[in-house]
């Protein structure tokens, strides 16, 4: 049948579409800035019609109304990553947190967490009836591929991006048309500390490297420090506006990449309209599902691969906590370990996995380099996986180092206010002075 006829048949309102979500089912919503907010909010408005519906999400940037106390018994959130909108509910026991590597999420949707309903947001259809998943391919496309019911919010402001990132009208059950700006990520504040961290990271990044950059002020500060580099490439879980600036300057040209030469490979995008306009109909950017982009055995094929991620605490053995403050879940592993592992497995042996953080937290009151992780904290990157730790005070290369050498290297990049205290711990532990 002509896809245009199908489109008309499936067209409905958000309020009507969400009536087709059954009770006792699992709903996966489109990820991050691609969340189909009109449909998700319609489901939340109608919560009383459902019993026992699980909402699986990762970086939740919408209203997160499914976390409200009155949702009890109707909608319950299962977070694969915790963010500002879901943190309180998870830590109050009103929502759940399920630890998982990002690259394994599509596999979970095939095995342990089968998807009943996918709520997705896509671009307008092209002349063949294909809509692009736009700024989020990640687990959104795999969820739609597996779901029994697909409710699609078709937004003419969603960019059309390339790669394995399309869905045909015939694969959708209900279509809700909207025309509205996408969710945007506020630009992070980059101060002197972040700039110094960025410059230290830049010392480890050679011309011709392929980069993975996490989210936030530190990755953005790293990008600012790369303006004098040449021939950089991108193979990253996500990227934001900073990459656009370096691409336009010709610093990023993907010309030295060992796989996907000439292309930026990414699984989701979060930034401002500038980023969304840049990726629209842009063949230099290709989006693939996260079980490809973040898979360590794909990451390892990139030559001169460098990953830059951040964390909350590092102990003197090099155990990295990036996701919890004590028993309080702050975020999740996301793609951190996917890249730390992929980079250290690099086929060319040149991979560098950087974990970069300010030396202190809570306005300088706490050292992030600590003798022990906070009681109850989770280890995100293990001491066996860890490679470089970078602060504004320098670079600690921990790979192949003994526990004693690691502690000394980490103390040398701690904030000077905390070095005496850490040195006392060193003396007690290793029976010698630093």
Instruction: Return residues touching ligand COA (CB under 6 A).
Output: 214-216, 237-238, 309-313, 322-323, 325, 330-331, 333-336, 361-362, 366, 368
237 is catalytic: yes
Q: To the nearest 10°, report the CA torsion of 29, 109, 294, 194.
A: 40
Beta carbon nearer to ligand COA, 161 or 310: 310
User: Residue 406 — φ and ψ, nearest 5°?
Assistant: -65, -45
Give the nearest distance from C-beta 287 to ligand COA in angstroms: 15
Do 214 and 190 touch, CB atoms closer than 8 A?
A: no
Which one is catalytic: 237, 286, 323, 392? 237
State the Cα angle at 215 between 333 and 383, rounded to 5°: 40
3-state secondary structure the chain: CCHHHHHHHHEECHHHHHHHCCCCCEEEECCHHHCCHHHHHHHHHCHHHCCCEEEEECCCCCCCHHHCHHHCCCEEEEECCCCCCCHHHHHCCCCEECCCCHHHHHHHHHCCCCCCEEEEEECCCCCCCEEECCCECCCHHHHHHHCCEEEEEEECCCCCCEECCEEEHHHCCEEEEECCCCCCCCCCCCCHHHHHHHHHHHHHCCCCCEEEECCCHHHHHHHHCCCCCCCEEEEEEEECHHHHHHHHCCCECCCCCCCCCCCEEEEEECCCHHHHHHHCCCCCEEECCHHHHCCHHHHCCCCCEEEEEECCEEECCCCEECCEECCEECCCCCCHHHHHHHHHCCCCCCCEEEEECCCEECCCCEECEECCCCCCCCCCECCCCCCEEEECCEEEECCCCCHHHHHHHHHHCCCHHHHHHHHHHHHHHHCCCC
Encoded tokens for 264: 């930026």
Contacts of residue 92, defined as CB under 8 A and 6 or more positions apart, other chains included, come to none
The C-alpha atoms of residue 83 and residue 171 are separated, in whole angstroms, by 31
CA-based Rg of the chain, rounded to a whole angstrom? 22
CB 406 within 8 A of CB 396: yes
> Residue with structure tokens 């998870």?
90
What are the catalytic residues?
Answer: 237
């Amino acid at each position: 049948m002509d896809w245009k006829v199908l489109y008309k048949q499936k067209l409905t309102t958000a309020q009507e579409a969400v009536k087709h979500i059954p009770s006792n089912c699992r709903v996966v919503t489109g990820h991050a800035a691609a969340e189909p907010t009109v449909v998700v909010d319609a489901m939340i408005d109608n919560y009383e019609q459902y019993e026992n519906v699980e909402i699986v999400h990762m970086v939740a940037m919408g209203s997160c109304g499914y976390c409200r106390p009155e949702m009890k018994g109707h909608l319950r959130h299962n977070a694969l990553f915790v963010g500002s909108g879901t943190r309180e509910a998870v830590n109050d026991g009103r929502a759940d947190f399920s630890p998982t590597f990002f690259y394994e999420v599509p596999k979970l949707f095939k095995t342990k967490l089968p998807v009943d309903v996918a709520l997705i947001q896509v671009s307008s259809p092209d002349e063949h009836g294909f809509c692009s998943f736009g700024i989020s391919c990640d687990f959104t496309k795999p969820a739609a591929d597996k779901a029994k019911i697909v409710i699609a919010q078709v937004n003419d402001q969603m960019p059309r991006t390339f790669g394995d990132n399309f869905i045909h009208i015939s694969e959708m059950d209900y279509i809700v048309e909207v025309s509205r700006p996408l969710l945007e990520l506020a630009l992070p504040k980059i101060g002197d500390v972040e700039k110094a961290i960025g410059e230290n990271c830049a010392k480890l990044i050679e011309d011709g490297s392929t980069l993975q950059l996490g989210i936030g002020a530190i990755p953005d500060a790293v990008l600012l420090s790369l303006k004098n580099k040449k021939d950089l490439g991108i193979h990253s879980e996500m990227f934001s506006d900073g990459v656009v600036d370096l691409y336009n300057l010709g610093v990023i040209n993907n010309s030295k990449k060992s796989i996907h030469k000439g292309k930026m490979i990414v699984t989701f995008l979060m930034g401002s309209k500038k980023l969304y306009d840049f990726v629209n109909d842009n063949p230099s950017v290709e989006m693939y599902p996260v079980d490809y982009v973040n898979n360590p055995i794909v990451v390892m094929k990139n030559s001169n691969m460098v990953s830059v991620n951040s964390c909350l605490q590092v102990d003197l053995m090099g155990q990295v906590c990036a996701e919890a403050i004590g028993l309080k879940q702050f975020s999740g592993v996301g793609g951190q370990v996917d890249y730390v592992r992929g980079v250290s497995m690099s086929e060319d042996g040149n991979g560098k996995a950087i974990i970069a953080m300010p030396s202190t937290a809570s306005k300088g009151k706490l050292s992030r380099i600590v003798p022990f992780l906070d009681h109850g904290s989770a280890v995100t990157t293990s001491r066996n996986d860890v490679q470089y730790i970078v602060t504004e005070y320098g670079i600690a290369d921990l790979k192949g180092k003994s526990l004693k050498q690691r502690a000394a290297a980490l103390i040398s990049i701690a904030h000077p206010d905390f070095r005496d205290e850490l040195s006392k711990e060193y003396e007690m532990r290793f029976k010698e002075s630093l």
